[in-house]
């Protein structure tokens, strides 16, 4: 059974349909990337799934349970989805350790000791445990991204959402983030990653969903999207020598 | 300058009253600073309400208190309410009037600080599953208070100085006692100069404490990675 089943999802802002009938599945332990030009609805899609934005219509099944209904426990749903933001969104007033422990302590009712043990485990997994007493303002972009991932993992989510995880990073740090996502993949963590970065998508994702104008135009492996589609839009976006988007 | 030290001798005769007045001033300053801070946090919380009616009502409250001289409100409470059979003590009027006034200013300072926060942190907290109330007390309030410290401590200093207004509603604070001493000794210039000096010393001490609080609350600067 798929961890996540999205069916005919629509989101409109006024007359404009930002998502127009999106359907896809995400298998447990799988990694899918969502790509497409700016404004195609990628980030809106992630936010609709965890209900930061309310979908207009359609259905989302999370482990077989419908989660778009009014009676859905939205906070419980969000706790099952680890969200890593483009600009990291670390809590500036908290040190690294507190950034990672605040969720488990306040949401999962862990004791401070238990939460710190869990946080240190995740920080070590991401090679940033030595920064635990630093504040976000003292970290580089790559370090912040790792801490943001550790914060998400400390909640033991069923799936990790990445929203443009490398767009604010230089190529070296972007490769580090790709390595981290691959490491998570090898540990059977389920990932849905919105990105503009084809190299990242190719190196981490089993399959890529290509979104344009709020619709899925293709879903396939990176190599197939690059080499085996005649569709003009897909060739322009993924084809050899395609301009960076 | 005081012409001679005789003024001190004349004034020191009244030191028990002066000391009581000084104690009243300090007590009132501490009370209104604390109640003004707590009420200000409550008002600020309401400015973030999802209810449009609530937000408008709170903005109306803030505008009224910032747009009206405090003395008018103190007089309304002290001299106006008895007309309706409600008689409050000078201390009650002082605490109530100042609290409502200071809360409006403090809420405005906190709103300004809030507007400088990174909205993505609030979104991240929502995405983690925190409730609105948890987001307020774990993420928003600590950052807003930290950013508002200069404005809030300046308000505390202003509170200390403004307490001299309450002598107009028969509250026997420091300025009222010094006024009494001036009337008894006829050394108006010397006594008011001394009064100003005492306020200046108190404000200097408070300013020093405020700057220390600012330094204590300061977050580490950005590292070279982020420059």
Q: What is the ipTM of this complex?
A: 0.90
Q: What mean pLDDT is predicted for residues B37-63?
A: 96
Torsion of CA B5, B162, B111, B221, to 10 degrees: 10
pLDDT in tens, A224-244: 888 888 888 888 888 666 644
d(CA A175, CA B74): 65
DSSP label of A208: E
Query: What is the average pLDDT score of chain A?
Result: 91
The CATH architecture of the domain made up of A2-238 is 3-Layer(aba) Sandwich (3.40)
Q: Is the residue at B206 inside a domain?
A: yes
d(CA A43, CA A62): 19
Q: Map out the domains of chain A as residue ranges.
A: 2-238
Per-residue pLDDT, B13: 85
Per-residue pLDDT, A188: 87
Per-residue pLDDT, A245: 45
Number of domains composing chain B: 1
Q: In this complex, do B221 and A89 lie within 8 Å of one another by their Cβ atoms?
A: no
Per-residue pLDDT, A171: 85
- Nearest CB to A102: which of B118, B123, B138? B138
Q: Is the residue at B227 inside a domain?
A: no
Q: Is the residue at B29 inside a domain?
A: yes
d(CA A77, CA A87): 23
d(CA A192, CA A207): 10
Per-residue pLDDT, B108: 97
Q: Is the residue at B225 inside a domain?
A: no
> Is B139 part of the contact surface with chain A (CB cutoff 8 Å)?
yes
Q: Quick one: pLDDT band at residue B37, thresholds 50, 70, 90?
A: very high
> Is A133 part of the contact surface with chain B (CB cutoff 8 Å)?
no
pLDDT in tens, B140-195: 999 999 999 999 999 999 999 999 999 899 888 899 999 988 888 888 898 899 99
> Is A141 part of the contact surface with chain B (CB cutoff 8 Å)?
yes
Query: What is the average pLDDT score of chain B?
Result: 90
- Reading phi first (left if > 0) and then psi (alpha if -120 to 50, else beta), residue A36 is in left
- Please name the residues in contact with B3: beta carbons below 8 A apart, sequence gap of 6 or more: B190
Q: Strand order of the sheet with strand A2-13? A: A16-27, A2-13, A57-62, A65-66
Q: Is the residue at B224 inside a domain?
A: no
- Residue A135 or residue A223, greater confidence: A135
Q: Is the residue at B27 inside a domain?
A: yes
Per-residue pLDDT, A1: 73
CATH number at residue B126: 1.10.3720.10
- Cβ contacts of A140 on chain B, cutoff 8 Å: 223, 225-226
Does the pLDDT of residue A62 top 60, yes or no?
Answer: yes
- Cβ contacts of B134 on chain A, cutoff 8 Å: 106
Per-residue pLDDT, B223: 54
> Is B218 part of the contact surface with chain A (CB cutoff 8 Å)?
no
Place of tokens 């691959």: A182
Q: Is the residue at B194 inside a domain?
A: yes
Q: Is the residue at B68 inside a domain?
A: yes
pLDDT in tens, A183-202: 888 888 999 999 988 889 99
Domain encompassing residue B20: 6-218
């Amino acid at each position: 059974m798929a961890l996540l089943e999205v069916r005919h999802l629509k989101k409109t802002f006024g007359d404009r349909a930002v998502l127009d009938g999106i359907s896809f599945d995400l298998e447990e332990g799988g990694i899918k990337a969502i790509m497409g030009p700016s404004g195609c609805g990628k980030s809106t899609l992630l936010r609709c799934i965890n209900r930061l934005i309310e979908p207009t219509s359609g259905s989302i099944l999370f482990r077989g349970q419908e989660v778009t209904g009014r009676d859905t426990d939205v906070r419980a749903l969000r706790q099952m989805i680890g969200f890593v933001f483009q600009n990291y969104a670390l809590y500036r007033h908290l040190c690294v350790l507190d950034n990672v422990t605040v969720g488990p302590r306040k949401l999962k009712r862990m004791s401070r000791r238990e939460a710190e043990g869990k946080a240190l485990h995740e920080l070590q997994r991401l090679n940033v445990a030595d920064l635990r007493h630093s504040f976000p303002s003292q970290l580089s972009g790559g370090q912040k991204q790792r801490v943001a991932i550790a914060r998400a993992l400390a909640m033991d989510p069923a799936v990790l959402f990445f929203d443009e995880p490398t767009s604010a990073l230089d190529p070296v740090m972007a490769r580090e983030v790709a390595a981290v996502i691959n490491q998570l993949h090898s540990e059977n963590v389920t990932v849905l990653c919105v990105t503009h970065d084809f190299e990242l998508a190719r190196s981490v994702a089993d399959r890529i969903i290509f979104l344009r104008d709020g619709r899925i135009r293709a879903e396939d492996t990176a190599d197939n999207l690059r080499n085996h589609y005649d569709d003009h839009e897909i060739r322009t976006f993924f084809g050899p020598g395609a301009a960076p988007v | 300058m005081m012409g001679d030290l005789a003024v001190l001798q004349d004034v020191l005769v009244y030191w028990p009253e002066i000391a009581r007045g000084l104690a009243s001033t300090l007590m009132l300053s501490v009370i209104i600073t604390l109640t003004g801070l707590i009420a200000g946090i409550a008002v600020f919380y309401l400015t973030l309400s999802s209810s449009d009616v609530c937000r408008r009502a709170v903005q109306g409250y803030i505008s009224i208190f910032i747009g009206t001289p405090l003395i008018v409100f103190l007089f309304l409470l002290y001299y106006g309410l008895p007309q309706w059979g409600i008689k409050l003590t000078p201390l009650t009027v002082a605490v109530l009037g100042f609290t409502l006034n200071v809360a409006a200013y403090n809420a405005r300072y906190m709103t300004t600080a809030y507007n400088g926060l990174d909205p993505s942190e609030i979104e991240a907290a929502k995405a983690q599953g925190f409730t609105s109330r948890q987001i307020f007390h774990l993420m928003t309030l600590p950052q807003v208070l930290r950013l508002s410290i200069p404005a809030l401590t300046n308000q505390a200093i202003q509170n200390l100085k403004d307490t001299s207004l309450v002598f107009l509603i028969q509250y026997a604070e420091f300025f009222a006692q010094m006024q009494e001493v001036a009337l008894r000794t006829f050394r108006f210039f010397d006594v008011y100069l001394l009064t100003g000096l005492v306020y200046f010393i108190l404000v200097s001490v408070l300013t020093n404490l405020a700057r220390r609080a600012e330094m204590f609350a300061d977050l580490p600067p950005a590292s070279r990675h982020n420059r």
